[in-house]
Amino acid sequence: MRTSALGRETGPNTRRRTLLRGAALLPLYGIAACTPTARPQRTGSPRLVVIGGGYGGATAARYAALWGGDSIDGTLVERDAAFVSCPLSNLVLAGSKSIADVTVSYSSLARRGVRVIQDTAVSVDAQRRRVVLARGPALSYDRLILSPGIDFFFDRVNGLASEGARAALPHAWQAGAQTVALRRQIEAMPDGGVFAISIPRAPYRCPPGPYERACQVAWYFQRAKPRSKVLILDGNEDVQSKKALFVKAWNEEFTGIIEYRPDHVLTDVDAATLTARFETADDVKADVLNVIPPHGAGAIARTAGVVTVNDQWCEVDFLTFESVKAPRIHVLGDSIQVAPLMPKSGHMANQQGKVVAAAVLAMLADQSVNPAPVLNNTCYSFINDREAVHIASVHRYDDAQKTFLTVPGAGGVSLAKSAREGDYGFAWARSIWADMLS
């Protein structure tokens, strides 16, 4: 099979592409239902099951349906009723966007021929190739794609494991109810108070995300609570992404509001007094304590036996994203052990979703996979409600090293924040949501 970087020009099987033109054939997939009572799996066609309808999984499911047509029987399992985007969710914390602005229905994806089941996958039996769901009947698969995002190690921070502590300290590192809860805390905070954000050690989901969040909260404080402060308590030794641009914003746009403190590895929290304790630094007491707990691959990856690195991330064969541990199970997105300089980002998960969809279809059809995939990434960070900066990179598969390496000279960072980049950032979000979900 020949494919472009994204496998776009040549779906793995020309025959399958007839479906793209054949709306009449869509009923073969069924008008998928977002309920556990969705039409059962077919027999005869190879069965593809995708777990997780976020940036990676929704893309993989959509492109497998687009390119695979009726030659595969595809199912997406997603526990939430609608997609809620982490990108732009920091603007919800600041109040310039609402949670509705970052929420997209799965209904169009279902109309595209993807059977969407709203349910939680509770375990994977890799031997019998079955996925057990919380409510609906188990699903059999010939190939399984896991894109479950992240789950948190609440037990790695003393004081964080109880339900009460978790409710008092919303992480908002999975968008949705958590985002709304944190926004409420920020709104309720007294003027003159302190919002502290604790960043785990890298690698973590979205390297620039915490620094963008600091800017967004500071922007809100300038307007609503001008005597308040934002403390960034970084578990790393330095700013992890877009350093010069963020530092400039903290010094110039948010002078006296944002303070950055490196080497703050969180060990304990006291949810009653909103106090954070660290390996070496002094304790910090805040009015809103936003702890992003250490995290790793989504829990379902554990039951599938594909978590291989530090009990945290999943190693994959980067040509196909097939697990190095369990054949026929592909993992992508934030759950994987990334290649050098590859960010855990929505854009990257979307790109990986297309490579995986093409690879899985090729493997199901006993065809060869694209030997030279290329991925790109652009990540916008909003400094205020309309101005943004970006970082971009291109990652090419290196056959000798069996991993993705960044392409020298490709990509880069903004020279300065601008409203034009803000417009690009909003357009990026609209485009990628359409690409995944429409």
List of residues contacting ligand FAD (CB under 6 A): 51-57, 77-80, 86-87, 89-90, 120-121, 147-149, 173, 205-206, 209, 298, 300, 333-335, 344-347, 349, 379-380
Instruction: Pick the closer one to ligand FAD by CB: 86 or 291.
Output: 86
Instruction: Pick the closer one to ligand FAD by CB: 19 or 357.
Output: 357
Q: Which residues contact 51 (CB under 8 A, 6 or more apart)?
A: 57, 77, 121, 124, 131, 144, 145, 146, 147, 148, 300
Cα–Cα dist 194/211, whole Å? 16
Q: For tokens 């992003």, what's the residue?
A: 292
Identify residue 10 by its one-letter amino acid code: T
Cβ neighbours, 10 Å, residue 91: 24
* Rounded least distance, CB 306 to ligand FAD, Å: 13
* Rounded least distance, CB 301 to ligand FAD, Å: 9
* Rounded least distance, CB 431 to ligand FAD, Å: 12
Instruction: Pick the closer one to ligand FAD by CB: 5 or 206.
Output: 206
* Rounded least distance, CB 102 to ligand FAD, Å: 10
The overall longest dimension of the chain from CA atoms, in Å, is 66
Residue pair 122/148 in contact (Cβ under 8 Å)? The answer is no
Instruction: Pick the closer one to ligand FAD by CB: 77 or 199.
Output: 77
Instruction: Pick the closer one to ligand FAD by CB: 68 or 346.
Output: 346
Residue pair 193/209 in contact (Cβ under 8 Å)? The answer is no
Residue number of the CB closest to ligand FAD reads 54
* Rounded least distance, CB 338 to ligand FAD, Å: 11
* Rounded least distance, CB 261 to ligand FAD, Å: 20
Instruction: Pick the closer one to ligand FAD by CB: 52 or 373.
Output: 52
Three-class SS state of 195: strand
* Rounded least distance, CB 240 to ligand FAD, Å: 13
Identify residue 56 by its one-letter amino acid code: G
Q: At what angle do helices 55-68 and 14-21 cross, to 10 degrees?
A: 100
Cα–Cα dist 184/178, whole Å? 10
Instruction: Pick the closer one to ligand FAD by CB: 19 or 110.
Output: 110
* Rounded least distance, CB 9 to ligand FAD, Å: 24
Instruction: Pick the closer one to ligand FAD by CB: 19 or 61.
Output: 61
E strands present in 90-162? 103-105, 115-118, 121-125, 130-133, 139-140, 143-146, 150-152
Alpha helices in 294-411 (DSSP H): 299-303, 346-364
Cα–Cα dist 2/348, whole Å? 22
Could you tell me the end-to-end alpha-carbon distance of the chain, in angstroms, rounded to an integer?
Answer: 26
Instruction: Pick the closer one to ligand FAD by CB: 228 or 335.
Output: 335
Output the CA angle 66-67-69, nearest 5 degrees: 75
